[in-house]
Chain A
Amino acid sequence: MVRMFQMPRKAAARAVLSAFVAALLASAPLSGASADDDAWPMLRKAVFGDWQIEDGKDLLFLDAPDQAEDAAIVPITVRIPPEFKEPFKALTLIIDKNPSPVAATFTFGPAAGREGGERRMSTRVRIDMFSHVRAILETEDGKLHMVTRFIKAAGGCSAPVPKESGGTDPDLGKIVIKSFDPAVDAAPLREAQIMIRHPNTNGMQRDPVTQGYFPARFVKEMLVTRGDDLVFRMESGISISSDPNFRFTYANGPENSLDVKVTDTDETVFTAKAGARGS
């Protein structure tokens, strides 16, 4: 397969931005969508251009509930089973029907870990009504592999906004990093969790007092490093739930503390180091 000059990850990052801009311009972004509209062909073109995407069902798994219990925080996990031992370059999560469909793109570095166990990336996303959710993995050879799940939103009272509204959270930008020791010290992979206190507001909710819109403010980038080595870099949009939460495997080494640097759309930077609460 001929590799295009354009890097797909950059294209994905641009799609995060352009879809967001489009959502800001749309007057009724959510209500018109139904499960029947197939948004994927257009999305696919916008994010990956002419790249061929292969069926990834033998390579990766996407775990997600069939029905979103709380559409504001739907846990999803991408798993790459131990049989696959190659490094991979990038992982893109797409929610077709969301106003900003590209939820996140992860670009992996040398400390992401490779063989020796199941590699995982979990996060929590907002899902508006009914939507396909896609995980597209770019392997070292430049091929794209996709798995898809269809998720139904539960009826009732959940909403893709924080449970508590109003005021400024004094803990904004607080980062908690947990690193879980593997069952045996020599295990090649270990697991960590990063929690970021951030409303990740999407700029589409009307303020009844001012009649204006609450300004969008969300985490757009996160860098996770172990020592000098990159674990991953993430570019993200408004489909990531408020208080963004990530749980992932990475290479287990003699020194496992993580440095996390988060940048939001206000260009505010929050940093933390493993074990330390806050920054």
Chain B
Amino acid sequence: MLQDFSKLPSIDALTRRHVLGAALALSAAPVLRHVPALAAGTLAVSEVAKGVFVHQGRYELQSPENRGDMANATFVIGRDAVAVIDTLGSAKIGRELRATIRNLTDRPVRYVINTHMHPDHVFGNAAFKDDNPQFVAHHKMARGLAARSDRYLAINKDMLGAEAFEGIEVILPTRSVESTLTLDLGGRTLICEAQRTAHTDNDLIVTDSATDTLILADLLFSVHIPTLDGSLKGWLSLLDDLARRKAARVVPGHGPASMQVPEALVPERRYLSALADDARKLIREGRTLAEAMKIAGQSEKDAWKLFDTYHARNVSTAFAELEWE
């Protein structure tokens, strides 16, 4: 992260950052092994549990340099087949994800699961088209992505640049999940569960039965500021449910490759609660949306990367939702 010496943090902020660093150290879970990017055109991954590999994306906006490598992607290797859970943010980086899988196994990619509609999780889908997989997602994902396709394509073309954008296409799910769907990879199953509106209206979580690994995707942000594109109240209430779940480890959509629950959920809950509390207070006081976007949730400023990029938008979404209470 760039240092801005004109805005040195206060002692409070330094202490807070220190505390947050310690909290992250506690909630990050150990991994079995790191597999560095061995050849050009492959990605570094961590094997977080037997046969479960996670590539950790950067805490950045999409750019020509990162080519949409800005979210976590997971793949699970079963006895008979492979499932990919999220494909990163471009066909190019998606192809590198595919090459990484091919270096580890020659079993077929039978399923590509998209945890929600956002481009940094779905724009690599095209790289797997020739594998003829089933594209699996929440039953509302197709609708959400289709409605936003023109805009997502335009923005990503602009931000990625022509070279990194090449090959991107919108691939909608071929199999939708109403509530739960179990996929058999041979010797292990993946349980996909559609969630109620939270981060978006089409979040899907996936559990690997063999290792009790729970892929929470963008229902869990760590280090990277949460991005709200669904319902704040829905997300907070869903966090209550998620905190009660037992899992050997969880994989966030943005953050370390492997984390422990319920500790991993704490900073995100704190952020979303601050957002809700501040927005409600300003609404009670009769303040405007424009004012709220400058004031609400600023106590969280030093706790997250990309705060300046996404926070005001989160406030805007939260305010417009909570005004109706």
Q: Which chain A residues have a beta carbon within 8 Å of chain B's beta carbons? A: 28, 30-31, 63, 65, 69-71, 73, 75, 77, 122, 124, 128-129, 154-161, 163-166, 171, 176, 178, 180, 195, 197, 205-209, 214, 243, 245, 247
Contact = CB atoms under 8 A, between A and B. Distances in A.
Which one of B143, B151, B155 has the highest number of Cβ atoms from chain A below 10 Å of its Cβ? B151
B134 interface: no
Given A75-B288, A122-B288, A129-B154, A205 B147 contact: yes
A69 B143 contact: no
B197 interface: yes
Interface of B: 61-62, 118-119, 140, 142-155, 158-159, 172, 197, 200-201, 227, 229-231, 286, 288-290, 293, 309-310, 312-313, 316-317, 320-321, 323-324
Contact of B147 (A75, A122, A154, A165): A165
Given A30-B154, A163-B317, A206-B147, A158 B229 contact: yes
B142 A209 contact: yes
B170 to A, nearest CB: 10
A201 to B, nearest CB: 10
A204 B119 CA distance: 20
A110 B180 CA distance: 59
A33 to B, nearest CB: 9
B149 to A, nearest CB: 8
B313 A207 contact: no
Given A164-B231, A206-B149, 6 more contacts: A63-B290, A69-B312, A73-B289, A75-B316, A163-B197, A195-B324
B140 to A, nearest CB: 6
B320 A206 contact: no
A176 to B, nearest CB: 7
B156 to A, nearest CB: 8
Contact of A155 (B147, B159, B197, B324): B159
Contacts of B231: 163-164
Given A30-B151, A31-B154, A73-B320, A157 B143 contact: no
13 contacts: A65-B293, A70-B316, A71-B151, A77-B290, A159-B151, A161-B147, A178-B286, A195-B323, A197-B324, A208-B143, A245-B320, A245-B323, A247-B288
Contact of B158 (A73, A155, A159, A171): A155
B201 A164 contact: yes
A259 B101 CA distance: 63
B155 A155 contact: yes
Contacts of B148: 157, 159, 161
A108 to B, nearest CB: 21
A187 B293 CA distance: 28
Nearest to A164: B201
A23 to B, nearest CB: 13
Contact of A31 (B142, B150, B324): B150
3 closest A-B pairs (Cβ-Cβ)? A208-B146, A159-B148, A69-B313
Contacts of A69: 293, 312-313, 316
A160 to B, nearest CB: 7
Contacts of B227: 156-157
Contact of B201 (A163, A176, A197): A163
A153 to B, nearest CB: 8
A157 B118 contact: yes
Contacts of B310: 156
A170 B197 CA distance: 16
A71 B130 CA distance: 35
Nearest to B151: A159
